[in-house]
Amino acid sequence: LSLGVPAGTWLGAAVGWRLAFWIMSGLTVLLIAWVLAKVPDFPGAAHHERLPFRHVLDMPGVRSVLGVVMAWMLAHNVLYTYIVPFVTPAGLAGQADRILLLFGVAALIGIWLTSRTVDHALRLSVLLSLAIFAVVAGAFAIGSASPAVIMIGVTVWGLTFGGAATLLQTALADAAGDGADVALSMNVVAWNSAIAGGGLLGGALLDTWGATSFPWAVMALVAIGFLIAGKARSHGFPPGHRLGS
């Protein structure tokens, strides 16, 4: 997520998209071979040992975390999917690969920062990430024609996004307890639905109001995610050390 998109964008521009896809396909075959050779094959849970889907969904906090996943990732993908038309007014359309690389490097730093906070400040990390993302979106709304605003904003956005998967999956696993496997499968569905939904919503916004509407949509979606996380104090995103109890 952090480096693959900018690398693919650069590779497509350098050698053409067909060769880029052939390279990706070749790497995938190598990955499959490595998994078959090196990854141990552990047995799955028996059918009677699995918690029912509905039971897990009804666990306190699970829906709250999934709601934040949907709102946060929708907001992210509206902007990320259509990054080229968004940065065009700032004269950066030809530098999309560099902008995405900047985002990716910042996201990697965000992952490291999250590794330092996920256990003892998960709730605060989620709320801060969402709040800062909203501030970045506000800066984009005001200064989308400024290359400096775009570059600084993309960097800060990457920092807030890098740890999102770790924070949200950890919160979901904690909320689900013994139903973590089922809950995390829901997370995959929610995450990929948000990727698709972000593309659809972003396309509709682009056709109707143009790329300048993206930051406003992002702020609205992030505000929803922030409110959900803020209310999920007892279950979903409790304060304090997550292993304290």
Token pair 């065009």 is found at 88
Confidence (pLDDT) at 44: 67
pLDDT at 97: 82
Please give the radius of gyration of the chain, using alpha carbons only, rounded to the nearest integer. 19
Residue 122 exposed, middle or buried by CB count within 10 Å (0-12, 13-18, 19+): buried
pLDDT of res. 49: 67
Q: Is the pLDDT of residue 9 over 90?
A: no
Residues 89-112 have pLDDT tens digits of 999 988 888 898 899 999 999 999
List the chain domain ranges.
Answer: 1-42, 54-231
Burial 23-57 (b: 16+ CB within 10 A, else e): eeeeeeeeeeeeeeeeeeeeeeeeeeeebeeeebe
User: How high is the mean pLDDT of the chain?
Assistant: 92
pLDDT value, residue 11: 85
Task: Provide, rounded to the nearest whole percent, the portion of the chain with pLDDT above 70.
Answer: 97
pTM of the full structure: 0.87
- Res 45 pLDDT > 70: no
Residue 117 has pLDDT above 60, yes or no: yes
pLDDT tens digits, one per residue of 164-207? 999 999 999 999 998 888 999 999 999 999 999 999 999 999 99
Average pLDDT over residues 146-172: 96
pLDDT tens figures, 61-93: 999 999 999 999 999 999 999 999 999 999 998
Q: What's domain 54-231's architecture?
A: Up-down Bundle (1.20)
Tokens of 209: 């109001």
The predicted model gives 141-168 an average pLDDT of: 96
Select from 210, 118, 204, 206 the least CA-distant residue to 168. Answer: 118
